[in-house]
A and B are shown apart, each in its own frame.
Chain A
Amino acid sequence: MPTFGIRFGAQVLAWIAILTVLADSVAAANGMTLSKQPREALAIPRWLYLATGGATIGASALLASFVTDRAFIYSLHSRSVSLPRMPAVRRWIGVLGQTLAVVGLCLMVFLGYTGPQLPSASLTVLVTFVGVRAGLPVVAYLVGNPWPALNPWRAITTILPTGFYEYPDSFDRWPAIAGILTLVWVEVIFPVSTVPRVLATAILGYSLYTIAGAVVFGSDAWFEHADPITVLFRFYGAVAPIQLRDGSVEIILPGSDLAQSDVVTDSSDIAFIIALIWELTYSGFITTTAGAQTITTVVESPLSAVMAATPLAVLAYTTLLVIGYVVFLAAYWYAGTIARRFTDTYVTSRSIALRLAPPLLAIAAGYHLAHYAGLLVSLSPALTMAVVSPLSPPANPLVLAPPNWFTALSIAFVLVGHLLAIWEAHASAYDLFPSRLAAIRSQYPFVLVMIGYTIVSLWLLSLPGATPPYLG
């Protein structure tokens, strides 16, 4: 396949060029910290960055083209071990988990107002950001989705009258997308990660919103479609090796569910997955020097004559959030259209886009881990202390300072996510197209989009961290 050879060569060249430019200031970063403080930058040997990047490209390109044995792909993806059903055990885990979660939620709101107003000693902040924002998604994509057994709001709605209106079909999962972007916006604009009182108010607000939604539209419909946190966990959970199928627990190869046709059923699902990738990119970007520079440039531009600095900065953050998301979404959509043209089949570009979207979850998972592993590990002692004795906060909370090599792992996380995504896209394409050539061709534009997303992620990791300016 001479065309493949040329493409492969071009890709490798392009990557080496990009990585060489990046490598001058290569540094890994550990994501947003609680205090919105600059991340610590760490120098990584240039050869490591180049070698890992190059190896990933090589491996993914090889995967995308050389594994043409359908039977082999199919056997890998259908490999699974069923666990005993044990419905009673599962029910009790659910009851216990949800009871704990409801008690925890009440305690978080209460202590947010009355407890220590320092983030590293506040149960509210630690559980929200270290537990739910960083920890639970890691569990969801590395082990299995824990949220159905924890969701405190769903537990609360079981004792309320629900379902006064039918959830409109046309809404699909769009409310969840609006919800997740709003949550990210609130996280950036308001000092929720630094002032427990503000966070407690935000949690109260969210609780009211989501419980009201469940009461109006019915618990099942609401949490399946509109509650952003539940939808987020469902998608991250799709990457996991433990899956719940028809009431039985199965262990599969990590990510192999991403090639299934039932993960993404609608355009809004694609939009949600892109939102997951974008929110991580966005919060990564604004905590780097380049992000801070962008915002400062806007605020110090001639526009500052019209508006005060803080509202202008808020406007800049908001515009960046929305525009970036639209660009990410458009790139993916365009890839679907191009793929249709490449393959020259009767399969619509919409169904190509639908089938190749779930693999993006592997990229999102990799990026989430790159972003939050440092935060999760370093604040886990503080979280443990807060959870063990919620009512008497420690005099001096402890953290774990991760060594340099751990920080460097974030690049590996991004690349592993990328690899898995390429492999699963490959499997999806083989499932979708009868012709091997069409299956391979259909992936080109998506591979390009994925590489684009990954380049952005690696680029962000290479930037030194900064505090987002103009935010209290």
Chain B
Amino acid sequence: MDRRRFLKTAGGLVGVAGVSGCLRRLGFETQSAWRDPPLVEDRPDGVYHPAIVEGMGMYETTTIDGIGVALMHSFPHRFWRVTGTNKTKVVVSSDDSLHLMASAWDAESGTVLPTAVSVDVRNEEGRVSTTNLWSMLSPNMGFHYGDNVALSGSGEYEATVRIAPVQAARTRPFKGRFTEMRTAQFQFTFEPAETYDLPIRRLSKKAGTRGTVDLMQMDGVPAPVAPPKEQLPGRLLGEASADDALFYVTLVTDEQRFSGTDSPYLVVSPRTPYNRVLLPGMSLSMAVERDGQTVMGTGLDGTLDPDLGYYYGTTVDRVERGDTVTIKIETPPQLSRHDGYETAFMDMSAVHFSV
């Protein structure tokens, strides 16, 4: 029996007796049993192992105009929305049916696209829901798009996923690409029993300790990760950590790919610890100091590159050996977080590097 029908029947049955309204008047409130799943006590201020890691199921992947799109599902679950430096807990509401997720990437290079993704779900009776998915970080999925969605019971659905044009700057191979809205169509069957077949890992002993689980390997879906330190272009100025986010900064002097000019170029590649997951959605600025004097200061451009994924960069004309480069985090990653990432990357202080 599907849930709406159940609610109607049960509501009808109970309504006759007046129990439902009576209970509500007395202060009883109907909630989802998963409204607030187990949360670790004394969460560390940084990336930690959550109490539970929910598995993920793939509905379908498709390619549309060179963009790979995947539609995935999991149990409806709690997450944390981030606006500026404020964090809001989003609990599972009583009519949520599943956690619908999407990923989008460049089919050729496998570069994961940070953009805006919305999804329309329809069934034969018409539109069921329209959702602007949140950019999210989760322990086993990394960077993806998702939200809890209410469907009308088990059955066939059609999902229209819209991938908005990428707002970020692009390096050469991507110039002129991802500039138009792309739409991918999916058919899927929602069946609660299928959701229940997804694995649920209870990290009993590890829960609450620093660290995270491995990213899930997904067939045909590239992992949303930044390249390891050794593969970064240019000269590594150093690494630093701000509220558990790892920052690598390199100075590129021998390539024109990034700046398009002969000027040196500064690459700032932040990522999560342990899994190297990309951290888009930040607003960064930099300043160069020499002998206690600020000689230049500028904002960093969020940029998409096939080798680096999403990074932050700028041309730096006036930089010499011995200078200090300060990267200031104006806003932390504007990404919703699953349990395990909600305490990290929030209160991020500036990081310093010497040239």
Contact = CB atoms under 8 A, between A and B. Distances in A.
Contacts of B31: 398-401
A396 B202 contact: no
A52 B76 CA distance: 43
B98 interface: yes
A405 B32 contact: no
B258 to A, nearest CB: 47
Interface size class of A (residues with CB under 8 A): 35 or more
A405 B27 contact: yes
The number of chain B residues touching the other chain, given as a range, is: 35 or more
A396 B28 contact: no
Contacts of B190: 395
B327 interface: no
A163 interface: no
Given A116-B196, A472-B202, A400 B28 contact: yes
B196 A394 contact: no
A117 B151 contact: no
Question: DSSP majority for the B interface?
Answer: loop
B26 A403 contact: yes
A86 interface: no
B41 to A, nearest CB: 7
Contact of A115 (B94, B153, B196): B196
B30 A400 contact: yes
A161 interface: no
Interface string B25-43: 0111111111101100100
B323 interface: no
Contact of A389 (B1, B76, B204, B205): B1
Of A377, A398, A403, chain B has the most CB atoms within 10 Å of the CB of: A398
Contact of B33 (A396, A402, A404, A467): A396
A362 B205 CA distance: 40
Interface in A366-403: 377, 379, 381-382, 384-385, 388-389, 392-403
A401 B76 contact: no
A400 B29 contact: yes
A402 B28 contact: yes
B193 A392 contact: yes
A37 interface: yes
Given A117-B200, A472-B202, A395 B28 contact: no
B192 A395 contact: yes
A402 B31 CA distance: 10
B3 A396 contact: yes
B193 A393 contact: yes
B196 A389 contact: no
Contacts of A392: 1, 154, 192-193
Contacts of A120: 33-34
A348 interface: no
Given A118-B34, A399-B35, 10 more contacts: A120-B34, A385-B3, A389-B6, A393-B196, A395-B192, A396-B76, A396-B95, A397-B34, A398-B31, A400-B23
What are the 5 closest A-B residue pairs judged by CB atoms, nearest first? A403-B27, A120-B33, A116-B196, A395-B192, A389-B1
Interface of A: 35, 37-38, 115-118, 120-121, 194, 377, 379, 381-382, 384-385, 388-389, 392-406, 467, 472
9 contacts: A389-B6, A392-B192, A394-B192, A396-B33, A396-B34, A396-B94, A397-B33, A400-B28, A401-B29
